[in-house]
């Protein structure tokens, strides 16, 4: 039996047989967003007639080539990067579908990482789709004119492709789960509330991101003006489009560095809170309002939801800070001010933890990940919540249950080289089996195997106690009332 050929609405594609089915890589869902299409909504793919070889990784969205042992990255040049990878157990079947949206602070990442291999999902009876979308300025620059949130509209175009084409790959378009991590999870929160995405999916998984990450038009304008200044052009999309890819990436890095050095509201407005200059914009059309507010008002109520966080998310970002001392306390002071916290709030976190560093980690983990996840679950009404607490031995144990640590467990591929830096060893296969199974069960049935959060504030823990936890840390949760 040879490698399979699938006939899509735009043309035939050649996949590759594997141990658990077949994989098709770099299948386009939209035209290359370059030239006249650079700052336009995703355009239809030009059909083809010859069989397209879909057995190799495709181009990635323009981004810096920076990579680290903890967060590896791969950049593959090319214009035709609005594509997706499909792992399927059987092209003749009708299996539930999971569509994965990668993270990377809306400026890095792709579906080319081997760590995002969907073979374990195909092994367990799920069609797994991993997508690319426009990043940085190409995806989220907005000056108040034209169409905003092109990166989110790319994701909608990919979901539309899934609706129209996934049956040919053995997937059920009537059972689609969208799943994202970090910026990908924040994208999922936005998609739950976007008019253009309605009806394209039925379940949602959000790992370390929820419904709080979008900025105002005024904030987007501040970012756009600084980007234009860095490029030495007028503050318009047309002027920015004259820059080369290398120039645009360098200018984006310069703006991000400026924000990191002076994350003050008087300078950046609401952009300062999220510390990401390029992210979804509340334009009133593509994204009508901040997703968490829309969910509080009933948006996405018919969608099954699984949302959660890692218990020490912020350790990833503060590995170099000392356990105690002036530098750590100043960082805590600056970070707390972004979220409207005062001296008593900082003192409370110091009292709940063992040192200054852990107080900072707990505060930022709550502000950016835990509290948004719990607030979304509370607003949704029937969401399931998880907490991931397996602690990595990396950096002499300082990394712990950090941001991104759950990924090798969800994908059940602990041995992949992409995760070597995070895991610093073999990891825990029993935890991976439990977590991956819960994700597969949710994609198939809408429940991961434990009660919704609103039933006694239930959270399933993976990696520590490995049991249901109820009403965890109410003091810190109450501290954030009306603040997130």
Name the residues annotated as catalytic: 182, 313, 403
| CA distance readout (Å), 41 to 23, 134, 148, 236, 294 | 28, 10, 9, 17, 23
Please give the structure tokens belonging to residue 184: 């990908």
> What SS3 class is residue 281?
strand
Compute, in degrees rounded to 10, the torsion defined by CA atoms 335, 372, 312, 262. Answer: -20
User: Are β-strands 203-207 and 458-462 bridged in parallel, bridged antiparallel, or unpaired?
Assistant: unpaired
- In angstroms, the CA 130 to CA 410 distance is 14
DSSP 34-67: -GGGTTSPPPPPPP--SPEE--S-----S-----
Place of tokens 């429940």: 447
* Alpha helices per DSSP H over 366-447: 371-380, 407-410, 420-423, 429-445
Sequence-distant (≥ 6) Cβ neighbours of residue 72 within 8 angstroms: 113, 115, 418, 421
| Number of Cβ within a 10 Å radius of residue 247 | 15
Sequence-distant (≥ 6) Cβ neighbours of residue 244 within 8 angstroms: none
Sequence-distant (≥ 6) Cβ neighbours of residue 269 within 8 angstroms: 215, 216, 218, 219, 222
- Rg over alpha carbons for the chain, rounded to the nearest Å, is 21
| CA distance readout (Å), 244 to 59, 73, 128 | 17, 21, 34
| Number of Cβ within a 10 Å radius of residue 337 | 15
Sequence-distant (≥ 6) Cβ neighbours of residue 450 within 8 angstroms: 384, 458, 460, 468
Beta-bridged to residue 21, according to DSSP, are 18
Task: Determine contact, residues 206/306, Cβ cutoff 8 Å.
Answer: yes
Beta-bridged to residue 307, according to DSSP, are 206, 385
Phi, psi angle pair for 179, to nearest 5°: -135, 130
Compute, in degrees rounded to 10, the torsion defined by CA atoms 457, 459, 307, 454. Answer: -20
> What SS3 class is residue 15?
coil
> What SS3 class is residue 182?
coil
- In angstroms, the CA 103 to CA 180 distance is 7
Task: Determine contact, residues 143/96, Cβ cutoff 8 Å.
Answer: no
């Amino acid at each position: 039996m040879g490698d399979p050929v699938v006939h899509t609405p735009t043309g035939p594609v050649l996949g590759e047989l594997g141990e658990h089915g077949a994989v098709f890589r770099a299948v386009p869902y939209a035209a290359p967003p370059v030239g006249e299409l650079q700052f336009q909504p995703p355009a239809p793919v030009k059909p083809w007639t010859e069989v397209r070889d879909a057995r190799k990784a495709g181009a990635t969205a323009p981004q810096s080539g920076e990579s680290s042992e903890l967060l590896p990255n791969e950049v593959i040049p090319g214009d035709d990067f609005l594509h997706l990878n499909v792992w399927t157990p059987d092209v003749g079947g009708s299996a539930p579908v999971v569509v994965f949206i990668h993270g990377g602070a809306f400026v890095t990442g792709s579906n080319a990482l081997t760590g995002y291999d969907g073979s374990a999902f195909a092994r367990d009876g799920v069609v797994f789709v991993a997508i690319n979308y426009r990043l940085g300025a190409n995806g989220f620059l907005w000056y108040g004119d034209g169409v905003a949130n092109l990166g989110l509209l790319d994701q909608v175009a990919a979901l539309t492709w899934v609706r129209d084409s996934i049956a040919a790959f053995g997937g059920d378009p009537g059972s689609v789960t969208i799943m994202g991590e970090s910026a990908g999870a924040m994208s999922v929160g936005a998609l739950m509330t976007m008019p253009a995405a309605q009806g394209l999916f039925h379940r949602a998984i959000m790992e370390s991101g929820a419904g709080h990450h979008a900025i105002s038009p005024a904030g987007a304008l501040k970012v756009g003006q600084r980007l234009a200044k860095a490029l030495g052009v007028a503050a318009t999309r047309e002027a920015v489009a004259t820059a080369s890819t290398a120039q645009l990436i360098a200018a984006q890095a310069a703006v991000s560095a400026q924000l990191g050095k002076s994350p003050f509201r008087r300078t950046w407005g609401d952009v300062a809170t999220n510390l990401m200059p390029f992210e979804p914009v509340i334009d009133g059309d593509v994204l009508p309002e901040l997703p968490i507010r829309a969910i509080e008002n009933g948006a996405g109520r018919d969608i099954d939801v699984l949302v959660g966080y890692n218990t020490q998310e912020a350790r990833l970002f503060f590995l170099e800070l000392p356990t105690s001392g002036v530098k750590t306390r100043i960082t805590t002071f600056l970070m707390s001010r972004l979220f409207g916290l005062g001296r008593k709030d900082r003192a409370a976190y110091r009292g709940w933890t063992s040192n200054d560093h852990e107080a900072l980690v707990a505060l930022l983990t709550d502000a950016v990940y835990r509290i948004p996840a719990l607030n979304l679950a509370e607003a949704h009404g029937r969401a399931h919540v998880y907490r991931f607490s397996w602690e990595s031995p990396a950096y002499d144990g300082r990394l712990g249950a950090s941001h991104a640590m759950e990924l090798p467990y969800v994908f059940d591929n602990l041995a992949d080289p992409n995760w070597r830096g995070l895991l610093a060893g073999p990891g825990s296969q029993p935890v991976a089996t439990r977590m991956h199974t819960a994700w597969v069960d949710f994609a198939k049935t809408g429940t991961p195997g434990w009660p919704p959060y609103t039933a006694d504030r239930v959270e399933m823990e993976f990696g520590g106690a490995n049991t249901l936890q109820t009403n965890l840390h109410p003091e810190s949760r109450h501290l954030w009332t009306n603040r997130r």
